């Protein structure tokens, strides 16, 4: 893609990656492998800091709910978002994810400060 030159700047010092995709599009399932490879594996960023969001459009097919993703994507936290039916669930999952990232940042900052002191 023409934006690939910007990727290193986007990735610099990032603590988390959220990949949102349409589970009904087979092309998206291939693309998320590429995004995962570039933005998570190459950094490298721990899988626990990556969140996959399968976004279901209004009136979309329900059979994509039990999505089975190929390795290594199947190790990632996956949430289904359907803003018509359960916006609150999605909000809670995002809050949990952001809290976990903030905790990680704070812990690593504390470790850095301790290493400077000692």
pLDDT tens digit sequence for 3-36: 778 888 888 888 999 999 999 888 888 899 999 9
How many CB atoms within 10 Å of residue 76? 18
Give the tens place of pLDDT for each residue, 78-99. 999 987 877 888 999 999 999 9
Place of tokens 């934006």: 3
DSSP 65: S
Position 96 in a domain: yes
Check pLDDT > 80 for residue 49.
yes
89 located within any domain = yes
Is 5 contained in some domain? no
4 located within any domain:
no
Task: Report how far residue 106's alpha carbon sits from residue 118's, in angstroms, rounded to the nearest whole number.
Answer: 18
Q: What is the domain count for the chain?
A: 1
Q: Do the domain assignments include residue 70?
A: yes
pLDDT number for residue 51: 97
Residue 72 covered by a domain? yes
- Asked if the structure places residue 87 within a domain, the reply is yes
Q: Domain of 59?
A: 10-117
The model carries a pTM of 0.83
In a domain, 31, yes or no: yes
């Amino acid at each position: 893609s023409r934006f690939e030159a910007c990727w290193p700047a986007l990735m610099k010092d990032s603590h988390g990656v959220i990949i949102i995709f349409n589970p009904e599009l087979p092309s998206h399932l291939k693309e998320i492998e590429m995004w995962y490879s570039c933005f998570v594996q190459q950094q490298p960023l721990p899988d626990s800091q990556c969140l996959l969001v399968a976004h279901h459009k209004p009136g979309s097919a329900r059979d994509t709910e039990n999505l089975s993703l190929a390795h290594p994507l199947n190790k990632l936290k996956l949430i289904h978002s359907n803003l018509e039916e359960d916006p609150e669930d999605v909000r809670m999952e995002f809050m949990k994810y952001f809290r976990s990232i903030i905790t990680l940042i704070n812990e690593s900052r504390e470790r850095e400060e301790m290493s400077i002191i000692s």
